Amino acid sequence: MRFIEDTRWETLRSAYRSTYDPRGVLRQLAERPSEAAWNELWNELHHQGDVDDASYAAVPVLAEIHRNSRSLGWNCYALCATIEIERHRKANPPLPAWVKSEYESAWRLLPVLALEDLQHSTDRLLIRSAMSVVAIAKGMLGLGALIGSLDDSELQEILDERLGWSDLYNAD
């Protein structure tokens, strides 16, 4: 992937607006996904709604790693969805021109991967984050944000408040 060899990676900024080059951690994920690698990416690429150019540049690489290995699970979808949602936040910088083509390609690939994973997964986090990606890719940013941000208890609360769910339906 020629994109990952671009020298501009050395000057990218994290969600904290400090210089951060995520390529080392992305290479670790490609070789052997680990909780430590995911923790670093979540910490550096998203912070309280902030994202920056390192976040945007990481998305195409994450999509490619997942396409090749299918080993990144829910973290891949959830982090990519979070970055795309927060990219639209007024306080965050725009997508850099040199990243745009790769980023847009990744967002054409991510829903395809998500739909394939949804066919086989029973993991609730993967299902929720993959569905978030599909909604976002279909232009439903708010729905994607909602799906991706709710845990089971919050979903149950909304269902009960809006639809009287617990009173009307058997638990699944």
Q: In this structure, what token pair is assigned to residue 93? A: 């910088």
Query: Is 148:81 a contact under the CB 8 Å cutoff?
Result: yes
Q: pLDDT category, 171, cuts 50, 70, 90?
A: confident
- Provide the pLDDT for residue 65: 96
Q: What percent of the chain has pLDDT over 90?
A: 92
Q: In this structure, what token pair is assigned to residue 80? A: 């990519």
What number is the average pLDDT over the span 87-107? Answer: 97
Query: Is 109:117 a contact under the CB 8 Å cutoff?
Result: no
- Provide the pLDDT for residue 50: 97
Query: Is 41:58 a contact under the CB 8 Å cutoff?
Result: yes
Please write the tens of the pLDDT for every residue from 8-30.
999 999 999 999 999 999 999 99
Please write the tens of the pLDDT for every residue from 31-66.
999 999 999 999 999 999 999 999 999 999 999 999
Q: In this structure, what token pair is assigned to residue 28? A: 């670790």
Q: Please tell me whether the overall predicted TM-score, pTM, comes out greater than 0.85 for this model.
A: yes
Handedness of CA 87, 123, 153, 41 (dihedral sign): negative
Query: Is 89:49 a contact under the CB 8 Å cutoff?
Result: yes
DSSP line for 122-171: --HHHHHHHHHHHHHHTT-HHHHHHHHH--HHHHHHHHHHHH-HHHHS--
- Provide the pLDDT for residue 45: 98
Q: pLDDT category, 1, cuts 50, 70, 90?
A: low
Break the chain into its structural domains and give their ranges.
Answer: 2-168
Measured in residues, the chain has a length of 172
Residues with Cβ within 8 Å of 14's Cβ and at least 6 positions away in sequence, in order, are 20, 44, 45, 47, 52, 54, 55
Phi and psi based region of residue 47 (left: phi greater than 0; alpha: psi -120 to 50; beta: remaining): beta
